[in-house]
């Protein structure tokens, strides 16, 4: 299209390209003499002349070409508008346009020559525009880095006064931009840190960068711990100001101090603090990631010998695998767990290890989770526990032997009272009766004294029988516990005036005898004695139940009650009951509180223990 237009232009304007007149030659010579690339066009934009610089600058431009058609579309429209419109007469107008891949500034003269042609000056601004765009982009990046920075960023003059600051700076000191400008940076620091900031700024004014830790005082009075970097602003090699970057490290320093204190505490604590990964469960096991220094005094291993290895290095032949399984079962559910294990020191000696393990969850996605444990050597405590258990077993055997001896002695005394003293008194009573019958002629006063002796002997026989029964009722051995209990409770009801309710549930043909019957009877005796002396009860309910394998006795009163946790209520009676029950492998519980009565529950096995 451009070529055909040029041809028609040449045909239709042959005079325009004929030999120029002297005046036109002068004008063309002047065009060549003008500085810069010059092009002469008519009102339609066709090129009538261009100087050598224009030819050199723009290879595409030729006489007769349409200048607008060499431009990008937007610039072409605007140039045609300027050329065809005389409104700009007297004023030079400028536009930017692309010619090929280069960008030019076109300055269109405001006045046309006598031939109604306009001179356009072309300036190649490609590099200038690229530089301007790079400068603009650099400025945008700088502004983004300055104002959108998550740290406090600010600029100071050489006196240390604020020139500009981003939002984080305002948030750190707690004031508005207008208040901040022209304020001194040092004034916002803790008084003890102001000299440090001044020294840092002085170093920067000498051309060096400087980083310091300081405390910034917020307007509300709280302290912000900051890490501040000062760098010089250089223009032509001269420091004209200071850039500052302050990072709020309050939480970091708090955690740092907490870690320092924790590390110091763990270095001094006697227990072992051990942290491991959470897997694998299979060999080699979770790796140790931290262990404190106390581990050496307990296990013989230095911390550096254990980190990276599994805690299974401490296991040995007597380490209980069932307990390890319980530990893993709890940890897999992320539950805390406490166990006691036999572990082994570096030299191979076993020791008892009490272990408490908790799960440390990940706080954010991507973080690892861990198991943390506190471990302590309880070997001495275990030895004391074993010795105490042995002593308790010895005492229990001694108590059992003593109790058995006491029961045997009671039985012997009861039988002696019943068989010997009882028979003697009975014989005396009979002899007195015969004497009275054979001596009716005696004075009445003598007869009355003999009759009084008979009554006294009869009363003594009853007292002897009661004493013998209290020592050990014969029916306890002959008929079993339930019969002895009914006899005993019947006597208590008549003597104490308490409403006593007795309930029994027995297996057909059952009869509890032997040691089991003795223990149940003595506990029932002790309960009724305590109720009579201390409970001030109006009613007592006794439930007794037998199954093929168990006997259960419940004694419940409506008395004043007591606090079982108070030691002064744990007298010899209750202690004795507990020991009697423990000797037979049973259980005893006491439920009571002030004002609510008391309930005693005893359970005893009926197989394998003294029920013979």
Residue 266 in domain: no
Task: Assess if residue 142 is contained within a domain.
Answer: no
Give the β-pairing of 499-505 and 539-546.
Answer: parallel
Do 482 and 572 reside in the same domain of the chain?
Answer: yes
Q: Are the C-beta atoms of 241 and 156 separated by less than 8 Å?
A: yes
Q: Is the pLDDT of residue 489 over 60?
A: yes
Q: Could you tell me the CATH number of the domain that includes residue 550?
A: 3.30.565.10
Lowest mean pLDDT segment, chosen from 104-108, 374-378, 502-506, 511-515: 511-515
pLDDT computed for residue 36 by the predictor: 77
Taking alpha carbons only, the member of 209, 228, 216 closest to residue 151 is: 228
Specify whether the CB–CB gap between 250 and 225 falls below 8 A: yes
> How large is the average pLDDT for residues 345-352?
95
- Pair 462, 478 in one domain: no
| 18, part of any domain | yes
Q: Is residue 591 part of a domain?
A: yes
- What tokens appear for 452 in the block? 């009084």
Q: How far is CA 144 from CA 140, 153, 163, 241, 246, in A?
A: 6, 11, 17, 20, 17
Whether 487 and 599 share a structural domain: yes
* Same domain, yes or no: 31 and 123: yes
- Residues 299 and 244 occupy one common structural domain: no
Q: Where is the domain boundary, 71, 102, 131?
A: 131
Decide if 260 is inside a domain. Answer: no
Is there a contact between 359 and 381 (Cβ–Cβ < 8 Å)? no
Query: Does residue 107 sit in the same domain as residue 153?
Result: no
Threshold 0.75, pTM exceeds: no
Residue that wins the pLDDT comparison between 448 and 474:
448
- Lookup result for tokens 């803790």: 190
**Structural domain of 352:** 271-377
Q: What is the pLDDT of residues 235-286, one digit of tens each?
A: 888 999 999 999 999 888 888 888 888 777 777 778 899 999 998 989 889 9
The answer to whether residues 106 and 225 belong to one domain is: no
490 and 592 share a domain?
A: yes
Run of H or E including 504: strand 499-505
Tell me the pLDDT band of 541, cut-offs 50, 70 and 90: very high
pLDDT in tens, 290-333: 999 899 999 999 999 999 999 999 999 999 999 999 999 999 99
Pair (499, 600) in one structural domain: yes
> What share of the chain has pLDDT > 90, as a percent?
34
Domain boundary among 449, 468, 487: 468
- The pLDDT assigned to 571 comes to 52
In a domain, 265, yes or no: no
**Predicted pLDDT of residue 228:** 95
SS (H, E, C) 192-230: HHHHHHHHHHHHHHCCCCEEEEEEEECCCCCEEEEEEEE
Q: Please indicate whether residue 609 or residue 403 has the higher confidence score (pLDDT).
A: 403
User: Residue 400 in contact with residue 583, Cβ under 8 Å?
Assistant: yes
Q: Does the CA dihedral 328-334-335-336 come out positive or negative? A: positive
**pLDDT tens digits, residue range 560-594?**
988 877 655 555 577 778 888 888 889 999 999 89
Candidates 610, 485, 474; CA nearest to 554 is 485
Number of other CB atoms surrounding residue 298 within 10 Å: 19
Count of domains for the chain: 5
* Any domain includes 384: no
Q: Is residue 143 in a domain? A: no
Which pLDDT does position 241 carry in this prediction?
A: 94
- Mean pLDDT across the chain: 83
Q: Is residue 8 located within the same domain as residue 127? A: yes
**Pair 458, 480 in one domain:** no
pLDDT digits (tens, 9 = 90+) for 2-16: 333 333 333 334 344
In the predicted structure, residue 376 carries a pLDDT above the cut 80: yes
- Per-residue pLDDT tens digits for 191-247: 999 999 999 999 999 999 999 999 999 999 899 999 999 999 998 889 999 999 999
pLDDT of residue 18: 42
Residue 340 has pLDDT above 50, yes or no: yes
- Output the domain CATH number for residue 248: 3.30.450.20
Query: Same domain for 486 and 599?
Result: yes
Among 418, 439, 468, the domain-final residue is 468
């Amino acid at each position: 299209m451009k070529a055909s237009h040029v041809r028609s232009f040449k045909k239709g304007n042959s005079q325009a390209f004929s030999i120029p007149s002297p005046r036109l030659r002068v004008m063309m010579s002047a065009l060549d003499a003008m500085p810069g690339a010059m092009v002469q066009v008519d009102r339609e934009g066709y090129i009538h002349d261009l100087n050598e610089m224009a030819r050199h600058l723009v290879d595409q431009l030729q006489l007769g070409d349409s200048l607008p058609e060499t431009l990008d579309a937007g610039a072409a429209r605007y140039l045609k508008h300027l050329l065809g419109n005389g409104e700009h007469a007297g004023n030079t107008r400028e536009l930017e346009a692309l010619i090929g891949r280069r960008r030019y500034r076109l300055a269109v003269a405001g006045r046309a020559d006598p031939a109604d042609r306009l001179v356009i000056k072309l300036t190649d601004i490609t590099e200038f525009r690229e530089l301007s765009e790079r400068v603009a982009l650099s400025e945008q990046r700088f502004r983004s880095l300055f104002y959108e920075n998550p740290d406090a960023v600010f600029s100071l003059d050489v006196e240390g006064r604020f020139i500009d600051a981003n939002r984080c700076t305002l948030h750190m000191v707690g004031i508005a931009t207008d208040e901040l400008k022209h304020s001194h940076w040092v004034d916002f620091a803790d008084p003890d840190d102001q000299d440090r900031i001044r020294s840092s700024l002085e170093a920067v004014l000498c051309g060096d960068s400087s980083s310091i830790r300081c405390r910034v005082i917020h307007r509300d009075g709280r302290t912000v711990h900051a890490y501040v970097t000062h760098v010089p602003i250089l223009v032509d090699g001269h420091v004209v100001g200071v850039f500052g970057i302050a990072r709020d490290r309050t939480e970091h320093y708090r955690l740092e101090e907490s870690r320092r204190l924790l590390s110091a505490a763990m270095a001094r604590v006697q227990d072992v603090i051990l942290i491991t990964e959470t897997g694998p469960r299979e060999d080699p096991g979770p790796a140790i990631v931290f262990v404190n220094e106390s581990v050496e005094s307990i296990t013989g291993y230095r911390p550096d010998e254990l980190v990276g290895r599994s805690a299974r290095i401490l296991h040995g032949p007597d380490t209980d695998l069932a307990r390890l399984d319980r530990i893993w079962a709890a940890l897999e559910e992320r539950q805390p767990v406490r166990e006691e294990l036999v572990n082994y020191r570096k030299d191979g000696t076993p020791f008892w290890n009490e272990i408490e393990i908790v799960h440390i969850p990940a706080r954010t996605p991507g973080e690892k989770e861990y198991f943390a444990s506190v471990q302590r050597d309880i070997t001495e405590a275990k030895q004391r526990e074993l010795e105490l258990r042995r002593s308790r077993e010895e005492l229990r055997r001694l108590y059992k032997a003593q109790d058995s001896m006491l029961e045997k002695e009671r039985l012997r005394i009861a039988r002696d009272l019943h068989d010997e003293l009882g028979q003697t008194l009975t014989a005396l009573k009979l002899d007195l009766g015969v004497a009275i019958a054979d001596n009716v002629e005696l004075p009445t006063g003598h007869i009355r004294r003999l009759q009084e002796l008979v009554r006294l002997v009869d009363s003594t026989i009853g007292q002897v029988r009661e004493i013998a029964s209290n020592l050990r009722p014969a029916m306890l051995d002959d008929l079993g516990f339930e019969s002895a209990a009914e006899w005993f409770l019947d006597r208590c009801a008549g003597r104490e005036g308490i409403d006593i309710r007795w309930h029994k549930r027995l297996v057909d043909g059952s009869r509890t005898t032997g040691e089991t019957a003795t223990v149940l009877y003595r506990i029932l005796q002790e309960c009724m004695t305590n109720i009579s002396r201390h409970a001030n009860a109006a009613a007592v309910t006794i439930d007794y139940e037998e199954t093929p394998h168990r006997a259960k006795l419940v004694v419940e009163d409506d008395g004043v009650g007591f606090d079982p946790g108070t030691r002064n209520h744990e007298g010899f009676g209750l202690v004795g009951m507990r020991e009697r029950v423990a000797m037979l492998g049973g259980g005893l519980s006491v439920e009571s509180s002030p004002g609510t009565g008391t309930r005693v529950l005893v359970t005893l096995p009926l197989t394998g223990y003294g029920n013979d």
